Structure 1
Amino acid sequence: MLLPSSDNSLPLFDSLTKSVSFRCRFRNKKQAKQSATSMVVPSKPAIEPFSYVGNSMPNSNALYSHQIPLVDLSKPDSKSLIIKACEEFGFFKVVNHGVPLDFISRLEEEAVKFFSLPLVEKEKAGPPDPFGYGNKKIGWGGDVGWVEYLLLTTNPSFNYRKFPSVFSESSERFRSALGDYISAVRDMACEVLESMADGLRIQQRDIFSKLLMDEQSDSFFRLNHYPPCPELEAFDDRNMIGFGEHTDPQIISVLRSNNTSGLQISMKDGTWVSVPPDQNSFFINVGDSLQVMTNGRFRSVRHRVLANSSKSRVSMIYFGGPPLSERIAPLPCLMKGKESLYKEFTWFEYKKAAYNSRLADDRLEHFQRVAAS
């Protein structure tokens, strides 16, 4: 089954939307602003107006789809394009990725079924500690957003039976869809990482990918649901944050969402630009750990999600991380006499620091030797 297009996605998510307990329901603009106070996370710097639907662009800061770095993994120039995208954006879209569309649609169906459940049923899979269901609260630093989510480990031996609302009668169907999807996306992520190594002329081609394939790899998988907020149009001077601005601490993140807008990335000058959705492609984020391993040559992209006034957004993110004991530092083969910008640390140490921080914090700042460019 193909995923719904932007024209027919609303019926699919209609029942889902009705079940979300924190969907905004306001009688007037004043009530809307008062109720939203606990759900809005101010962004730094102030957020530009955001009210477009579909592919229309609100202002000159928005990128058009052809300006987002695009990499066709089947083409011979993919390696050089990946390197350029990682240096300039820390973010790019991949096509001809090899992940079967059936794997994508099956898992999205399971995600929609879960988020359609009554809140009391979903909460049986929470709170996230660290895995499980959560809503509004993001992490331990006090951040909140217009989002509910399901955080899972990629370890196949994890006992998912602790989540009866997720893995009950449909246990095998959900686990099968999850396993197929994660396996295919991880393979694609490893292919991308090996292309990076080739493009950087690193002799050990699996220098990055082996960390994801390691049995002790500390990788995660996240399903996010952003309910629509029709009354969002009542806000004339602020935006509803779905997920606040941040960078991903892992090596690489692989994102896929349904055909609903909301994702934005930050450029080097701090300008926020909107990413047109593409339900059949994947977006790759450079993580903090990869920025360190390349000694700042690759850029860990700062990104965020804004709430949509009329459509639900469902995203699926694979976070490729190293083993907890892995030591993260600039690769000697990339230094060539250059000074190391970062202190060496273990993934466990960095992960602990990340969990104790706010979303918008610059976590790498504490591990820098000299200011990274």
Structure 2
Amino acid sequence: MVVLANPPTEQISIIKPQKPHAYFSGVPVIDLSTPGSDAAIVRACEEFGFFKVTNHGVSKELMAKLEAEAVKFFSLPQFEKEKAGPPNPSGYGNKRIGPNGDVGWVEYLLFEINSKPMSSVSLAFLREPLASSFRSALNEYISAIRNLAAEVLELMAQGLGMKQRDILSKLVMSQDSDLMFRLNHYPPCPVLKELNCNLTGFGEHTDPQVISILRSNNSNGFQIALKDGGWVSVPPDQDSFFINAGDTLQVLTNGRFRSVRHRVVTNGSKSRVSMIFFGGPPPNKIITPLPQLLGEEKKSRYIELTWADYKKAAYKSRLADNRLALFEKHMT
């Protein structure tokens, strides 16, 4: 493994591409407008913990509007972007991902949104009229994506045979649901062309939350790990949304659904912008498998924990750590 140091204290991994320009053809594509999408979502979560949705009802104009605002922000001089301040929890970050030593070829804006309208989130680091247009785009987009998350979670519940259709969706639609939103920018890195390498943009990890909804521009770099541990590249699609099952969803389904391990690599020639919604439950919500999914033996694979406890433990770990191992029971 080679590392790129910039500055010397930041060691960003360089990865030799195994199959240049080869995309994984097995990504489940689910049309939300067709009958049977609930069962298809369940199959995708069992096999991959990941799928793509089409006919999702979110307008292309709305997606493009927020992407344009993100591009404007990331095009600002560095000293202007740094006025957004380190992400604690909201703010601007550059290369350093969290407080535990993880780094990547990425800069980002992170927002803790909870149930607050974005008008209550300080965008004082932006001058007008950029602040107003950015805030408006964030409000519209997050509202639409939160509703999409609820729709997908209700289809999951239906596909699992749950009598209570909102048993999962209410976790992200409650007044005190813990919601995060992230804008990532992966700048070009010209030196990679000469090395014929990919640079780690965001290292391998699983998402702690219930569900994550990702949209990116038409640039490659997103990869998921299959059950055998092999990495595959996901074809870019700027009109659809990619859905990640998170750690909390794996616990709720008693391991039936997979929390997908994923990462982002950069090829150095094209800028990549992504927008990710993270849907988490209220802090005091006890995360434990749903009784209907315990199986005939009625055994849970996980100890009970609140979302606040799990989130605290997750954010103390490194990206690549198996965080759920802390809460797995030793089955006999």
Superposition deviation, residue 366 in structure 1: 0.4
Equivalent residue, structure 2, for 1:147: 106
Equivalent pair of 1:90/1:285 in contact (CA under 8 Å)? yes
Equivalent residue, structure 2, for 1:69: 28
CA shift digits 1:107-144 (9 cap, x unpaired): 11110110010010000001111100110000111100
Matched residue count: 329
Superposition deviation, residue 51 in structure 1: 7.8
Equivalent residue, structure 1, for 2:97: 138
CA shift digits 1:311-355 (9 cap, x unpaired): 000000000010111110001111133321000000000000011
Equivalent pair of 2:199/2:268 in contact (CA under 8 Å)? no
**Which of 245, 252, 269 is 2:211 aligned to?**
252
Structure 1 length normalisation: TM-score? Answer: 0.84
The equivalences for 1:102-117 within 5 A come to 102-117=61-76
Q: Distance in 2 between matches of 1:306 and 1:288?
A: 22
Equivalent pair of 1:73/1:97 in contact (CA under 8 Å)? yes
1:291 maps to 2:259 = no
1:183 maps to 2:143 = yes
1:222 maps to 2:190 = no
Q: Distance in 2 between matches of 1:34 and 1:224?
A: 20
Q: Which amino acid aligns with 2:186?
A: Y
In structure 1, the gaps of 5 or more residues are 1-29
Q: Which amino acid aligns with 2:17?
A: P
The equivalences for 1:1-373 within 5 A come to 33=4, 35=6, 39-42=10-13, 47-49=15-17, 52=20, 56-57=21-22, 62-64=23-25, 67-154=26-113, 155-157=115-117, 162-166=122-126, 168-235=128-195, 239-338=198-297, 339-370=299-330
Superposition deviation, residue 171 in structure 1: 2.6
Equivalent pair of 1:124/1:163 in contact (CA under 8 Å)? no
Q: Distance in 2 between matches of 1:37 and 1:275?
A: 32
Q: Which amino acid aligns with 2:200?
A: I
- Give the secondary-structure state (helix, strand or coil) at the position aligned to 1:340: coil
CA shift digits 1:186-226 (9 cap, x unpaired): 11111000000000001111011001110101010000000
CA shift digits 1:241-297 (9 cap, x unpaired): 000000000000000000000000000111000001000100000000000000000
Q: Distance in 1 between matches of 2:5 and 2:256?
A: 44
Superposition deviation, residue 33 in structure 1: 4.9
Q: Distance in 2 between matches of 1:197 and 1:255?
A: 21
Superposition deviation, residue 35 in structure 1: 4.7
Equivalent residue, structure 2, for 1:21: none
Quote the sequence identity (%).
Answer: 58
Q: Distance in 1 between matches of 2:324 and 2:143?
A: 30
Q: Distance in 2 between matches of 1:239 and 1:213?
A: 38
The structure carrying a bigger strand percent of its residues is: 2
Q: Distance in 1 between matches of 2:163 and 2:56?
A: 24
Q: Which amino acid aligns with 1:362?
A: N
Superposition deviation, residue 153 in structure 1: 2.0
Q: Which amino acid aligns with 1:194?
A: E
Please say which of residues 34-43 and 255-264 is displaced more in the overlay.
Answer: 34-43
Q: Distance in 2 between matches of 1:269 and 1:173?
A: 45
Structure 2 length normalisation: TM-score? Answer: 0.93
Judging changes above 3 Å, is the alpha-carbon distance between structure 1 residues 34 and 366 closer, same or farther for their aligned structure 2 residues?
closer
